[in-house]
Homo-oligomer: A and B are copies of this chain.
Amino acid sequence: MKAVVTGAAGFIGSNLTDGLLRAGHAVIGVDNLSTGQLEFLSEARQSCRFQFVKADLFESDALDEVLPGADIVFHLAANADVRFGPQYPDRDLKQNTIVTARVLESMRRQGVSRIAFASTGSVYGQHHVIPTPEEAPFPVQTSLYAASKLAAEGIITAYAEAFGITAFIFRFVSILGERYTHGHVFDFYRQLRQNPETLRVLGDGTQRKSYLLVEDCVSAIQLAIEKSPELVNIYNLGTDEYCQVNDSIDWISERLGVSPRLSYSGGKNGWIGDNPFIFLSCNRIRKLGWTPKYTIREGIGRTLDYLVANPWVLERTQTDG
């Protein structure tokens, strides 16, 4: 299989690229390197089946040049940080919705008929059905990030109907693991590395969160594109457990051997548009035979191990946009 991965130098994109290469596929990775890191592709670039193309999908039609002959596009390029929507209201629209429309148009022009898309469990908003299945009642969007992903989902499925493009849509919980570059474990570790005495926590720490290790996420995606029978295939991806931010703080502190004083910003939500509780029903993907191998606690541990071993990641990447 010849696959094109957009956002290939990103956290999930680079892990997926490695997974596809290990499975024997050829991969063209595309990234504008705005938040992606070429170092994340150092393993991939040793493979003769990998090619990297630096391109911005919002600005250029570069995808038209790499798509001919591809069997599938894994569209992971996105603005992935949900928190800063209100400060840059058009960023999610441009980077997530419009870029997805442009990817689909390139696919149509070049005759590529399958797309796998990284959506988000945030599309369920503050849902009253917990755990939330894919067919939960029509949700109301609560963040520009989720709205932009939902919009992209809608365009993808309309392309499926209009042009026969097969769609695989994955609604993730938060993903953790190697090459993780934003989110609360990252922020907490960075804070504790600078000052192990104090930890500032957004919200009141009781926010319940679901996490999935990126290795499990990649295996689910690979299984789903092999085994899904429909024109439109939508899957929640998560574990069957959740934790509170306070649990996570305990695990992180224990792993690092620190006992910080906690300073809570207060309130139920960490930031505007934050969901106090995302917990997805993953029965649909489990019916295909997928099971996550790691618990949330193990995922947080592996994430910390990676960050400790790769201090350049903290120095290089930004969390404020």
Contacts and interface: CB of A to CB of B under 8 A. Distances in A.
Interface stretch (A157-165, A238-246, A258-266): A157-165
A303 B18 CA distance: 61
B154 A141 contact: yes
Given A89-B101, A147-B157, A161-B273, 20 more contacts: A85-B158, A89-B105, A89-B159, A90-B101, A90-B105, A93-B97, A93-B98, A93-B101, A93-B155, A97-B97, A141-B157, A141-B158, A142-B157, A142-B158, A142-B161, A146-B158, A150-B150, A150-B154, A158-B273, A162-B273
A289 interface: no
27 contacts: A85-B158, A86-B163, A89-B104, A89-B162, A98-B98, A134-B138, A135-B138, A136-B137, A140-B157, A140-B232, A140-B234, A141-B155, A141-B157, A142-B157, A142-B161, A143-B158, A144-B155, A146-B158, A147-B151, A147-B155, A147-B157, A148-B154, A150-B150, A151-B151, A158-B273, A161-B272, A162-B273
A131 B119 CA distance: 29
B138 A138 contact: yes
A273 B150 CA distance: 19
A81 to B, nearest CB: 15
A155 to B, nearest CB: 5
Interface string A263-295: 000000000110000000000000000000000
Given A98-B98, A101-B90, A151-B154, A161 B143 contact: yes
